[in-house]
Structure 1
Amino acid sequence: MSKVYVSHNTIVSSLGYDSLSVVQKIKDGRSGLQTISDIKLLDQPICASIVDTRKLPNIAKEPNLEEKYTRLEQMLLVSLGNVIQASQIELTDRVGLIISTTKGNIDVLDHDSPFPRERAYLAELGKVLKDFFGFKTSPIVLSNACVSGLLAIAAAKKLIAQDCFDHVFITGGDLVSKFTLSGFNAFQALSAEPCRPYDKNRSGINIGEVSASALITKDNTNLAKESVVILGDASCNDANHISGPSRTGEGLYRSVKLALKEAKSKPEGVDFISAHGTATLFNDEMEAIAFNRLNLQNTPLNSLKGFFGHTLGASGLLETIVGMHSLHQNTLFASQGFEEIGVSQPINVIKKTEPKPMDTFLKTSSGFGGSNTAIVFKKVSE
């Protein structure tokens, strides 16, 4: 099988509207999380990251953009538009589109929304993006809890390997909404302080909003300098509980093991892990157990949730893009908020951003319903 690459990319977040500026702020240790008191979202203060869509560049080059497109659509249009432009790829029937999200335009269900309620259907979100950019093929909307973003990369790789497409554009996003916040609050999982994955004094999860986009391609003639090759991927459902992960990390363990097998890589060949790290008791513990079972307990590991919060259906794609830049810059990024280990098994959480020659990284995601996905990425040779 020919190589499949992750190439051009854009991040739209509270830290900025392009990947390079966002990654630089992560490198500088700047978080996009802030305390928010908004009764329309939740009747108590929360800590979250919110995108200021008023400052988004107008990719449509037309007035009153906010009247035609929802907040999420505006974010996706900007991130995806930048990637399409950078790729210089003509949108023929050999070019696919995958959209990863958990709830899409869920905010249009609010009573004060100016948009019709039908806009909340995920298929409508796909139609908006297809029509705006002129894709010739029907979009695939991938909504599998919080593994959606990473799973979209694996799905794109398989579609290219099966000769369905030559290129696949992926875009992912979710919002900080009343619906989402009320759900996590019902679990008593929300923290009013910045989250601290794997830390002894963590107090719960933060929710964040972001849009992220990337090109998956088999063509190596116009790759971004931070591009990576997809060496291996796997997904496994632990079938443990509707929201709680397997206490033994079984689904994550199997996903990583199979991804390493396809990549023909051993645990010691992984330079760092970009982990899921939600800062909840069961998730952090499950990951620590799984990584120990895989002999990855000494591999440098971070969670990026301390910079963005949990961005749901976009998190796996967002964190892959940051991991690509980390690999390209030969720099390990600190796991924001971590000070003292708070899980029962030893893991090597990165405390300080520092240089390190690197070639390969592992990205993992886990989500409600017992879903787990893992992908091994390798730096493209010069």
Structure 2
Amino acid sequence: MKKDIFITDYNCITPLGFDVSSNWNALLEGKSGVALHQIIENHSPFYASKIDSDELEKEFQNNFNNQNFTRLEKMFLLSLKPLVEKHSISEDTAFILSTTKGNISLLKNQTTLPEDIFLSKTAQKLANFFGFTTKPIVVSNACVSGVMAIAVAKNMIQAGKYKDAFVIAGDEISEFVISGFSSFQAIGTEICKPYDKNRDGINIGEATATVYITSEFNKNEKFSFKILGDSAINDANHISGPSRTGDGLFASIQNAMNEANVSSKQIDFISAHGTATIYNDEMEAIAFNRMNLQNVPLNSMKGYYGHCLGASGLLESIISMESALKNTLIPSKNFEETGTSQPLNIIKENQPAEIKYILKTASGFGGCNAAVVLEKC
């Protein structure tokens, strides 16, 4: 019989705050980190969710003396520090880094590859700073990375390879990422509107998020969420476009729910991907309907945080767990009129709810899809 695996602690660094409580209060008030930013010289301002660099530096100075870190690494360290201080690191503790592009900004104006550009180097640098002795694990699979990292931790602990794990996810806004999404004509001209009829694309975001995952249930913890099931399926459809039939996401959800042994009727809330692109949102609606989940309350966090790439899945999982603890559903910001061919139960306002079973999904470039089912203990 498989071990039960639990998430018992988490933290995040975002434009809405440098801890979970600050983020939750901002979400309750309907605040968004998305605003017009001038990020690239000689380029028009565009909507993005960006952490104030001066505030970040001030917070880092208050917590650390070492300055030998990139801006993204400082975000990682601030997110991870509170958890490391509360949970001991042993020789059986895993360190898992989830990111899409890592320190990609270091490539600017370089003629040779800086060593810190490699994701494995970033992971080792962070692990060494906090004294992890196991070899770091990197999960980098486009925009499903954050959700997959939860699954990797769960499965490796269940296999007996580790006793517990710190999972950290993050990405920052960079010219490289902006150029990539611009080439697909995927960046919206206004604040993004997931699932809305008038949506026209994504807003890029940045954040770091951290969770502590363990096989040991401790009644003294403030909260505990069991990771009941997970799955990651590639639909092999297109290098950037999602499957029009939702095959990969449908299979990921089906597998995760089968492992969790929960039915569609038991799912209380869906934290969806919801990028606000025409094809992604349509694909998700089709997949959710195929699973008979169209009546389950659902939201996307992209209207608050933008699309944070490798951090999005982990950050949104944290917010979904906070929703369950606070018995409150947060609306899918900027949604007004249904823009998908299949119906969805989009949350439109703050509302009370008993949340026990959470479905978190993600989809990304290359046909990747992932899902996890969480249970509030």
TM class by shorter chain equals over 0.9
> 2:90: which partner in 1?
92
Pairs within 5 Å for 1:276-287: 276-287=273-284
Q: 1:283 to 1:123 in 2, by over 3 A?
A: same
Residue 358 of structure 2, aligned match among 351, 357, 361: 361
- Mapped to 2, the partners of 1:314 and 1:61 lie a distance apart of 22
> 2:104: which partner in 1?
106
Q: What is the deviation of 1:123? A: 1.2
- Mapped to 2, the partners of 1:13 and 1:251 lie a distance apart of 30
Q: 1:44 to 1:85 in 2, by over 3 A?
A: same
Q: Which runs of 5+ in 1 are unaligned?
A: none
Output the amino acid matched with 2:182. N
> 2:121: which partner in 1?
124
Partner SS state of residue 68, structure 1: coil
Output the amino acid matched with 1:362. L
Q: 1:62 to 1:310 in 2, by over 3 A?
A: closer
Partner SS state of residue 197, structure 2: coil
Deviations 1:149-188 (A, max 9, x none): 0000000000110111111000010010000001101111
> 1:303: which partner in 2?
300
Normalization by structure 2: what TM-score? 0.96
> 1:55: which partner in 2?
55
Paired residues, what number?
374
Pairs within 5 Å for 1:1-382: 1-40=2-41, 43-56=43-56, 57-58=59-60, 61-63=63-65, 65=66, 67-87=67-87, 89=88, 91-111=89-109, 117-221=114-218, 224-380=221-377
- Mapped to 1, the partners of 2:110 and 2:348 lie a distance apart of 44
Q: What is the deviation of 1:112? A: 8.2
Q: Which runs of 5+ in 2 are unaligned?
A: none
Q: 1:15 to 1:112 in 2, by over 3 A?
A: farther
The alignment yields a C-alpha RMSD, in angstroms, of 1.7
- Mapped to 2, the partners of 1:94 and 1:236 lie a distance apart of 29
Q: 1:256 to 1:339 in 2, by over 3 A?
A: same
Q: What is the deviation of 1:223? A: 6.2
- Mapped to 2, the partners of 1:169 and 1:314 lie a distance apart of 14
Contact 1:45-1:192 within 8 A present in 2 as well: no
Q: What is the deviation of 1:111? A: 2.1
Q: 1:351 to 1:62 in 2, by over 3 A?
A: closer
Output the amino acid matched with 1:326. S
Output the amino acid matched with 1:96. A
Contact 2:195-2:338 within 8 A present in 1 as well: yes
Partner SS state of residue 58, structure 1: helix
Contact 1:5-1:230 within 8 A present in 2 as well: yes
Contact 1:330-1:358 within 8 A present in 2 as well: yes
Contact 1:198-1:338 within 8 A present in 2 as well: yes
Percent identity, please. Answer: 48
Contact 1:53-1:75 within 8 A present in 2 as well: no
Q: What is the deviation of 1:59? A: 7.3
Hey, which bits of structure 1, 4+ residues long, moved more than 6 A? none
Contact 1:226-1:324 within 8 A present in 2 as well: no
- Mapped to 2, the partners of 1:315 and 1:235 lie a distance apart of 16
Q: 1:243 to 1:68 in 2, by over 3 A?
A: same
Q: What is the deviation of 1:52? A: 2.1
Q: 1:50 to 1:368 in 2, by over 3 A?
A: same
Partner SS state of residue 60, structure 2: coil
